[in-house]
Amino acid sequence: MLRALLSECANVVVMSASNGTSKPTDRQASITRHVFTSQQHLVASAHEINRTSRISAIPTVWEGGVEATAALSAALGLPGNSIAAARAARDKHEAALCFERHGVPHPRTMVASATTEECSRIESEFTYPFIVKSPWSTNSQSVTLVRTREELNGALAMLKRLYSPNRDNRLFGLYAQRAAQQPVLVQEYADGIELNIDLLIAPDAHRLLGIFEKYPMHGPTFEEVQSVYPPRIRASEMEECVQAAVGAVRALGATIGAAHVELRLTKGGPVIIEAALRPGGFLTPLAINHLTGVHPVSALARLLMTGEFPDIESLPAGVSCLYGAVNCGIEGRIKSISGERAVRNSVPGLSMFKLLKQPGDRLVPLPLGSDYHIASFMLVGSRRETLETAAQDIRRRVRVDVE
């Protein structure tokens, strides 16, 4: 990612809440790191940097930085989405209200609290099965499909634990900040093929960067398993889904930048699940770069600096790409991981494979946690079916022992 940014910029300033662990690049001297402790500290640091080295653009690459990026761009007078749009994208209830106002297809949604006293009210509004989750969930954390009153009680109890002030959560203690209200999002369940769509948008235009079909998950949790191109849908359906994704991003109030939209293609057409105002995470940028020759993060930086889209007229035909993870659904500490050498030596079409965990690391799977990926991989070739078989082979070969 840093190399991609350096292809467009002379210098890159990485602003984060921690020092990070990224490896050095061949242009490490062009990268400066700033650690901030609050949004006020972040804005003050950006002003100080801007006085000595003019900042040209502020692309965000992480969901937890979307609002801060909007605030920075506004403070420095740089192109970017409004703070209101960023906040709507981060808060799934606000997003649902935006979608409703603009006629964007979206599951019916209501807000409740994480108490068992709410069960009767929820059941009076929704028919089982339905979705329960935090309004700020990422990486499928907290997202649960409930089919009975017993499962609903369990999901609400899980969310109460997430709101515990003593719990270490991913988004700067975001759940703890809402501990008093303990809001819960309840949504109708939309069944169908799930797609990831990555876009760049400008005030009067958009550019499609990638569209991937997600591995089918039917609950009770929805772990990120794999995404594959091309999706098994007709060209007319793909165009309908892309237009729905663009409509969702516009409904949030976004005007310029990147968007990652997740939707389900139901029998009645596309239904938006959520829309994020940042590039797709995990290996999505790597897969898009392989398919199009364009890295989404560098394309985002160029768009913000020049207003120009990358030269992508259409997505390629006759090629396939699959990226995914080896996951573990057991909570505990890793004793051992095996199979890496077998994967590297014998899996056809393997473009990359990386162990994300090592012995001693702790796993906290869904729905309470989001730390369940053991390894990541990407496969490339000409036939989707061949890549799907290879992905199954990778998961069969990688073994994890947890205590």
Which of the 8 DSSP states describes residue 364?
A: B
Q: Is the Cα torsion angle 387, 391, 392, 393 positive or negative in sign?
A: positive
The rounded distance, in Å, linking the Cα atoms of 361 and 372 is 11
The rounded distance, in Å, linking the Cα atoms of 106 and 244 is 10
pLDDT value of position 19:
58
Pick the closest to residue 274 from 129, 131, 141, 99 (CA basis): 99
- CB-facing half-sphere around the CA of 37: CA atoms within 13 A: 0
Report the percentage of the chain scoring pLDDT > 70.
93
Torsion over CA of 184, 159, 89 and 252, rounded to 10 degrees? -20
pLDDT digits (tens, 9 = 90+) for 372-381: 999 999 999 9
CA–chain centroid gap for 293, Å, is 21
Q: For residue 125, is pLDDT > 90? A: yes
Provide the whole-model pTM: 0.91
pLDDT value of position 34:
74
Pairing of strands 31-35, 320-327: unpaired
CB 374 within 8 A of CB 356: yes
The rounded distance, in Å, linking the Cα atoms of 200 and 355 is 31
Residue 388 backbone phi and psi in degrees, to 5: -65, -40
Length of the chain: 403
pLDDT value of position 41:
85
User: How confident is the model over 354-371, as a mean pLDDT?
Assistant: 94
User: How confident is the model over 183-201, as a mean pLDDT?
Assistant: 97
pLDDT digits (tens, 9 = 90+) for 76-104: 999 999 999 999 999 999 999 999 999 99
CB 31 within 8 A of CB 242: no
User: How confident is the model over 285-294, as a mean pLDDT?
Assistant: 97
Q: What is the CA radius of gyration of the chain?
A: 21
pLDDT value of position 145:
98
Q: For residue 131, is pLDDT > 60? A: yes
Q: For residue 285, is pLDDT > 60? A: yes
Which of the 8 DSSP states describes residue 215?
A: P
